[in-house]
Structure 1
Amino acid sequence: MTNTVDVADLPRPTREHLAELPPTATLVYLHLRNEGGPRTLRQIAYETARPRKSVHRALRKLHDEGLVTCSPRHTEPPASEWTIAGMS
Structure 2
Amino acid sequence: MTLLMLATLLCGAGMIGAALVALLTRQTATAVLAAGLLSLFASVLFVLLAAPDVAMTEAAIGSGLTTFLFFYVLGRIRREDKK
Decide: shared fold, TM above 0.5.
no
TM-score by length of 2: 0.28
TM-score by length of 1: 0.27
**Greater helix percent: which structure?**
2
Computing the radius of gyration over CA atoms, which structure comes out larger, 1 or 2? 2
**Greater strand percent: which structure?**
1
